[in-house]
Chain A
Amino acid sequence: MRSFPVFLILIFFAQIKVYAISRCEKEIDILLKSWNVIEDEVVMEDPALKKKWPTKVMGEWVTLQLKSEKIFLQKRMKRQNITVEFTDGCQQHVILSENAQVDVKESYTDTDLTNDIAEAKQQGKKLLIYLWSAHMNLSREELRQINDLQLKKTRLRILLDSNADKSIAITFLKKFKLASEFQKKNASVELLERNSSLHFPCHFVVDMNGKWLWVPGYVKPEDFKKVLSVE
């Protein structure tokens, strides 16, 4: 019984945070709709403070964040970000900022991803994206195993960890006579937003309805159907 009041206090504070981030709901909803977010794909970054949504444009995401009791809604695009700060009365203060341009030459971009998804759909296939790292043993082993698979109903794209040492990756690919295209690094913002660099190996499956499945960690090829719902 002694812990009961503490429990109540914790709930009280949790409610304050939830209440705070849900202020200006109507205004936020209008902006989210105008920014074309896919509402049912909301991702929590911190349950009390930060969440984000993909939009219908590959690589463009929207984040809602509570900071120091203020609410910020931000849309991140290729060249610039739009940040809207909501004041206490839900008035909107808009800030534009430019993004530093990163050299993505020879890397896999959001344009490549858009094309891959479209082509897989055209072929009546799912898209499986496999991300490996030269610095994770099991991801290298799975790369060799995937390479031996004959996937008929799945379009396969293999990408390298964007922070990998390419020279180590090339040595590995040569040693096991694997295709040099597997050294292409991921620079897709869409994949990064979907946690592609949290852990290696990492799998994404995009079905023909555009639904995503994210599976980090090693998967045996014989478990692909069970775990990844491919083939």
Chain B
Amino acid sequence: MNYFKKTLLVMMTLFSNANADPAFVPVDNGRILPDGNGRILPEGPKEIPNYCLEGQPWRSVTVQGAPNYFYKLHPDRDLLFYATDNGSLVYDLDTKQYRPIPSDQDVVPLGSDLVVTPHFQSSYETTGLEFYSVKEIMGQKATFPKKPYKSNIRPIFIDKKMTGMYPTTGQIQKNQFRVLVDDGYLKVRDYEVSNKDINAIGESQHLCKGEATTLKMPMLSKNGEFLAALDIKTATTKIFQLKKSDSDGSIICNLVHDLKISVSKADFSFDNSKLVFHKETSGPTEQFFASPLMENNGHMLGILDLKTKNFSWVPTGMANGHAWYPVFKKNGDILTEVVTPIKGTDSGRKSQFAIFAQPKSQSRTVKSDCSNRNDQLTMAIGALKMTVCKDWQTGNTDNGYLGRATPHKEILLNPQMSKNQCIEVIKDFWEQYKQQISKVVSYSVKNSGNKNTSTNNVDFSSTDKNELLHLCNTFE
């Protein structure tokens, strides 16, 4: 890309209407500049269509050390804290460096400067809560540590009164932090942190008296004011606002919303306007994935808008949907752990972290038998988008992943995009890819369980792009 075009793109982005949907985000020397949402995108082809940020990860990172399912993200930096069987680690997504933490349990950020982790003496008896400095952790030599992961840094404070913690914290004021405990009853303990000292503010306080034993997977909002938890009495997730009782100092939980569905440990956005979670889905998942080949029973990511109370769903683009415990980043992006069992074996798993942009448009649906022409064309649009975006994601400039890989049942055809994006992808790439797209859609239809063999072979080689462009007009 020449200098003039680059400058033009930057100018277009800077001066465009915030609601407009620029075709491309600016690029600099193969490394894409922040797109206004604070994203630093990985290296790849120099132009990234915006539709590639919609409904599929714009970045994924494979991490080492066989992480457990749960992890925590630093509030300000892309630091992932996770526990493994050989000790806990922090992984810096930007520098791709690992550092050890002297713990084998979940390590949870407490504001920007500290992390907390329960200390286990022996068996399953906890002997306190340890506080470590993020600066000291990150000041250690960064190499991939040898197992077991050993660290010589010391806790800067130990609260021996704490018998463990639930992996969620909140920053209630500039120097005051809240830690949640679930030892049969829910409790919180607040701390004041100054330059020199960490002090508990009074004793632990009971939380949600009366409901304390029926609330599971409790998660605090970032400011410690709200709690999202599954109520086992109703099997639904509820959101409570926490208020201190005037009578006994315990924390009262006022119900503000019942989601009416059951979800995983949820994460509040930084402004408390949204909640993100994974949800087990079963049966027909075409509502969220345009492929009839999506295996049953996977995880999808859901977002609840706490103002409108509407749900939106993020098609993860991953077969069998092994996406776990999504969290919000400060810029509104969603990070999730993706655990994929190695096929054909009971042992071995690949652990990745994937980052999604929040969806702006609705996901499309197709009927499970794909006998309808419109459904086939919708799948074709999804396949085209996936082809183009996969090229960008992997940094490949050859014939695209459809050219390299035999279409197989894990290719999920996700046509989630706006009307303008739909028009753009067809105009730019349909002629180039339409024969390969025929193979992919034919394969999908053939393996959808559809008994009507006359629709099994789909041939788009003579399909004019105007037919697809017409379909784009039905996109929102």
Where the two chains meet, the residues of A that have a C-beta atom closer than 8 Å to any C-beta of B are 10, 43-50, 52, 61, 63, 65, 67-68, 72, 74, 76, 80-81, 83, 85, 95-100, 133, 135-137, 141, 144-145, 163, 165-168, 185, 189, 192-193, 195, 197-200, 213-218, 220, 222-223, 226-227
Give the residue of B68, B261, B279, B341 whose beta carbon is less than 8 angstroms from that of A163: B341
Does A137 lie within 8 Å of B287, measured CB to CB? no
Does B69 lie within 8 Å of A136, measured CB to CB? yes
List B contacts of A185 (CB < 8 A): 346
Q: Which residue of A lies closest to B311 (CB)?
A: A46
Measured between alpha carbons, how far is A81 from B449 in the docked complex, in Å?
9
| Interface of chain B, main secondary structure | loop
Q: Which residue of A lies closest to B70 (CB)?
A: A136
- Stretch in B14-22, B55-63, B363-371, B429-437 touching the partner: B363-371
List A contacts of B37 (CB < 8 A): none
List A contacts of B295 (CB < 8 A): 100
Where the two chains meet, the residues of B that have a C-beta atom closer than 8 Å to any C-beta of A are 66-70, 83, 85, 104-106, 123-124, 182-184, 213-214, 216-217, 230, 232, 235-236, 259-265, 278-284, 286-287, 292, 295-297, 299, 308, 310-311, 313, 322, 339, 341, 346-349, 365, 367-369, 447-451
Query: Counting chain A CB atoms within 10 Å of each CB, which of B284, B310, B322, B447 scores highest?
Result: B284
Give the residue of A43, A68, A167 whose beta carbon is less than 8 angstroms from that of B365: A68
Does A67 lie within 8 Å of B287, measured CB to CB? yes
A–B Cβ pairs within 8 angstroms, 28 of them: A10-B308, A44-B236, A47-B260, A61-B283, A63-B282, A72-B284, A74-B283, A76-B282, A81-B283, A95-B367, A97-B292, A97-B369, A97-B449, A98-B449, A99-B449, A100-B449, A135-B68, A135-B339, A137-B83, A165-B346, A165-B347, A167-B347, A189-B297, A192-B282, A195-B280, A197-B299, A217-B182, A227-B214
CB A130 to nearest CB in B, in angstroms, measures 15
Does B311 lie within 8 Å of A167, measured CB to CB? no
List B contacts of A67 (CB < 8 A): 286-287, 365
Q: Which residue of B lies closest to A67 (CB)?
A: B365
CB A206 to nearest CB in B, in angstroms, measures 15
10 tightest Cβ-Cβ pairs between the two chains A and B: A97-B449, A217-B216, A166-B346, A167-B347, A141-B124, A98-B449, A47-B260, A192-B297, A135-B68, A198-B280
Q: Which residue of A lies closest to B68 (CB)?
A: A135
Measured between alpha carbons, how far is A168 from B347 in the docked complex, in Å?
8
CB A93 to nearest CB in B, in angstroms, measures 9
CB A203 to nearest CB in B, in angstroms, measures 9
**A214 touching B232 in the complex, CB below 8 Å, given contacts A63-B283, A83-B284, A97-B369:** yes
List B contacts of A45 (CB < 8 A): 261, 279, 281
Does A52 lie within 8 Å of B282, measured CB to CB? yes
Measured between alpha carbons, how far is A166 from B346 in the docked complex, in Å?
5
Give the residue of B182, B339, B450 whose beta carbon is less than 8 angstroms from that of A97: B450
CB B236 to nearest CB in A, in angstroms, measures 8
Q: Which residue of A lies closest to B286 (CB)?
A: A67
Does B230 lie within 8 Å of A216, measured CB to CB? yes
List B contacts of A44 (CB < 8 A): 236, 260-261
Measured between alpha carbons, how far is A50 from B216 in the docked complex, in Å?
24
Does A199 lie within 8 Å of B217, measured CB to CB? yes
Measured between alpha carbons, how far is A168 from B67 in the docked complex, in Å?
12
List A contacts of B183 (CB < 8 A): 220
List B contacts of A95 (CB < 8 A): 367-369
List A contacts of B287 (CB < 8 A): 49-50, 65, 67
List B contacts of A72 (CB < 8 A): 284
List B contacts of A49 (CB < 8 A): 287
